[in-house]
Amino acid sequence: MSGKLDGKVTVVTGAARGLGRAVARLYAMEGAVVYALDMLAGEVETLASEAGDIRPRRMDVTDADDVAAVLAGIEAEAGRIDVLVNNAGIIFFKPVEEVSVADWDRLLAVNLRGPFLCVRAVARGMKQRRSGAIINVSSNAGVVGGLD
């Protein structure tokens, strides 16, 4: 790898599976210190043995206190957060009439509230340093509807 991210402190939410896992691994292979965050603590733990400096943590992106505590802990440990990748997200593959209000509330909590809470937690430090990057991952599900 090229070492493009040597020494950068990165945070990746939704890092247990899929795109989040791939991003965490790639960032570590590029030299970043990667804090891999997910509710699936067991799965995110296995990342630590896969590539570079990966530091798994359990975090619930929908819980304001948990987000604030975990991200403040990372900043205290690492001294800063250079990159935040808001990747955690959920989707339901069922007709809208079968989506419960509880399902809908959960979807909004993970997909909208989660990124807001994470950005809010890292923004002050990035602004003070006048440095940092925030990447918000989304799906095309908001643009292209399903047929069900």
| pLDDT tens-digit series, residues 78-136 | 999 999 999 999 888 888 899 999 999 999 999 999 999 999 999 999 999 999 999 99
147 pLDDT above the threshold of 60 = no
pLDDT-derived band at 144, boundaries 50, 70, 90? low
pLDDT-derived band at 6, boundaries 50, 70, 90? confident
Residue 18: its H or E element: helix 18-29
- DSSP-assigned letter for residue 79: S
Q: Which fold has domain 9-138?
A: Rossmann fold (3.40.50)
| pLDDT tens-digit series, residues 48-68 | 888 889 999 999 999 999 999
CA dist 47 and 16 (Å) reads 8
* pLDDT the model gives residue 142: 63
| pLDDT tens-digit series, residues 19-59 | 999 999 999 999 999 999 999 888 888 888 888 899 999 99
Neighbours of 74 (CB within 10 A): 23
pTM of the model: 0.90
Domain extents for the chain? 9-138
Mean pLDDT computed over every residue of the chain: 91
Judge whether 124 and 70 are in contact, CB under 8 Å: no
